[in-house]
Amino acid sequence: GYGLPTGSTPLICYRELVRMHKGGELSFSNVATFNMDEYCDIPKDHPESYHTFMWENLFKHIDIRRENVHILDGNAEDLYHECRTYEAKMEALGGVELFLGGIGPDGHIAFNEPGSSLCSRTRVKTLAYDTIVANARFFGGDITKVP
């Protein structure tokens, strides 16, 4: 599978992948993807959810099968179970072979803030204040709206 980020970092890459797909150079029909993160308590169809981001910027423009797209459900009734299930799906599909990383202003990757364990797995994470401030630009500059 492919590990995919959101945010401003991957947009140029996603545009190029879409261009290559539309030009007949790439097919995603046999690709499985795993997104790195998702906000908790934000509807999947919210303009700033990572579900919306990925479908608008990549998935709806390529031939990926819906069942091969894996994005965490930040509204799951049991978020800890959601994390364990996500890890199990990754393992069942052979893990992540290619990882595109987005890096936040403070060096965080996938909401793994500086100081996070290098051995940590998918989990619920409280955002650092600096990350909330950085992400407020997606929420009209209002830090109180960042999930």
Q: For residues 33 and 55, give the distance between their C-alpha atoms in angstroms, rounded to a whole number.
A: 12
Active-site residue identified among 38, 51, 82, 108: 108
pLDDT for 112 equals 67
Query: Which position has the higher pLDDT, 4 or 113?
Result: 4
Report pLDDT digits (tens) over 38-66. 999 999 999 999 999 999 999 999 999 99
Q: For residues 22 and 36, give the distance between their C-alpha atoms in angstroms, rounded to a whole number.
A: 25
Tokens of 44: 């999947």
Residue 102 pLDDT > 80, yes or no?
no
- Of 117, 122, 146, 116, nearest in space to 39 by CA: 146
Q: Is 45 a catalytic residue?
A: no
- Residue 138 φ/ψ, nearest 5 degrees: -85, -10
Report pLDDT digits (tens) over 107-145. 767 776 777 777 778 888 888 788 889 889 889 999 999
Residue 7 buriedness (CB in 10 A; 0-12 / 13-18 / 19+): middle
Active-site residue identified among 37, 38, 51, 82: 37
Confidence of residue 87 (pLDDT cuts 50, 70, 90): very high
pLDDT for 113 equals 72
Mean pLDDT of 2-21: 94
Q: Is 108 a catalytic residue?
A: yes
Active-site residue identified among 56, 113, 130, 142: 113
Are 39 and 73 in contact by the 8 Å Cβ rule? The answer is no
CB atoms within 10 A of CB 50: 22
pLDDT for 121 equals 83
Tokens of 52: 């919306």
CB atoms within 10 A of CB 39: 20
pLDDT for 15 equals 98
Report pLDDT digits (tens) over 12-38. 999 999 999 999 999 999 999 999 999
Q: Is 113 a catalytic residue?
A: yes
Active-site residue identified among 46, 67, 106, 142: 106
Report domain extents, the chain: 2-145
Fold category of 2-145 in CATH: Rossmann fold (3.40.50)
Give every CB contact of residue 63 below 8 A, 6+ residues apart in sequence.
Answer: 21, 27, 28, 29
Confidence of residue 8 (pLDDT cuts 50, 70, 90): confident
